[in-house]
Amino acid sequence: MHGAGNDFILVETSEMKRDWSQLAVAMCDRHYGIGADGLLLLLPSSVADFQMRVFNADGSEADACGNGLRCMVKHFVDGGLGNPKAREVSVETVTGVRRAKIHKVAGRLTKVQVGMGNPKFGENDIPVVIGQGSGDTVGTKSMIAYPLTVDGKELRLNLLSVGNPHAVYFYQHPVSSFPLARLGPKVEQHRIFPKGVNFEVARVLNRREIEARVWERGVGETLACGSGACAITVAARLYGYVDSKVDIKLPGGTLKVEWDGVGEVLLSGPAETVFTGEWLE
């Protein structure tokens, strides 16, 4: 499945004793496996309609994944795994229970809007280690804006968590010209981020549109990133660049994000099944 080109292998299972991390590396290999940005597990849950686990292409487990969440909800609904009359699906994730609103036309699922939780801004929430008094704060939510020099280029990173860590850099030129392949891994693995970070390069086009590229922790550059789109929107709104509803234009497509400046971030966008098959071990 994919959400705006951010692609995943989805497996229904009740088995957690298997080494899913190792299997994710094998499956996600684009030359010797199926090829994907990550592996999604749809598991039983005692507190929600189902449980979601996400393993990146490098085998690491992700804390949050907005595109993967929408793909899983679409699979759950289209596969008849829940109540066909339900207009909301609950999903247990590593960072808590998330809720998704289902929109149908003539019985066909046309839109999934997922709640991504409230953004967090504390050094321990992200996490980031920069020391007392380092960086500036932005907006009433006190987002950390931290200058970091990487390969001789100074980047003013806006740091926050949307269930996973993000560093958003606002660029004044078309994002296609930014050297993401060179700087992305150096930001991701910088010593100030003890658990790594997702790095977003964004350019504000107007109060309702932003273009962006994303270097995902544990994956590399992806065609889209749901949590990254949310992080960009939150950072831009705290600066007063945008209104509450924003289209994030990514290489793989457009994701729509809503944030009122106070509560939960809402994400919607495409989710498509590409093919089904068997993995022969």
Q: What is the pLDDT of residues 2-46, one digit of tens each?
A: 999 999 999 999 988 899 999 999 999 999 999 999 999 999 999
pLDDT of residue 142: 86
pTM score of the predicted model? 0.94
65 belongs to the catalytic site: yes
Q: Which of 28, 65, 71, 230 is catalytic?
A: 65
Whether the CA torsion 140, 173, 212, 180 is positive or negative: it is negative
Q: What is 2-116's CATH number?
A: 3.10.310.10
Partners of 17 in the β-ladder:
none
Interior/surface letters 117-140, b for 16+ CB within 10 angstroms, e for the rest: bebebebeebebebeeeebeebbe
Contact between 65 and 94 under an 8 Å Cβ cutoff? The reply is no
Query: Ramachandran region of residue 231, left (φ > 0), alpha (ψ -120 to 50) or beta?
Result: alpha
Q: Which of 28, 71, 225, 230 is catalytic?
A: 225
Alpha-carbon distance 148 to 155, whole Å? 5
Superfamily of domain 136-262: Diaminopimelate Epimerase; Chain A, domain 1 (3.10.310.10)
* One fold for 2-116 and 136-262: yes
pLDDT of residue 132: 64
Mean residue pLDDT across the chain: 95
Of 200, 241, 243, 244, the C-alpha closest to 224 is: 200
Average of pLDDT values for 244-254?
Answer: 98
Q: Which secondary-structure segment (H or E) carries 187?
A: helix 180-188
User: Which pair of structure tokens corresponds to residue 172?
Assistant: 């004044």
Residue 76 has pLDDT above 90, yes or no: yes
User: Which pair of structure tokens corresponds to residue 121?
Assistant: 């801004």
Nearest 5°: the CA angle 119, 121, 174 is: 75
Distance of CA 182 to the CA centre of its chain: 21
Eight-state DSSP code of residue 179: -
Residue 72 has pLDDT above 70, yes or no: yes
DSSP 109-129: EEEEEEE----B--TTTTT--
Whether the CA torsion 125, 162, 44, 274 is positive or negative: it is negative
The domain ranges of the chain are 2-116, 136-262
28 belongs to the catalytic site: no
Average of pLDDT values for 122-133?
Answer: 86
β-strand pairing of 209-216 with 245-250: parallel
pLDDT of residue 135: 81
Residue 167 has pLDDT above 90, yes or no: yes
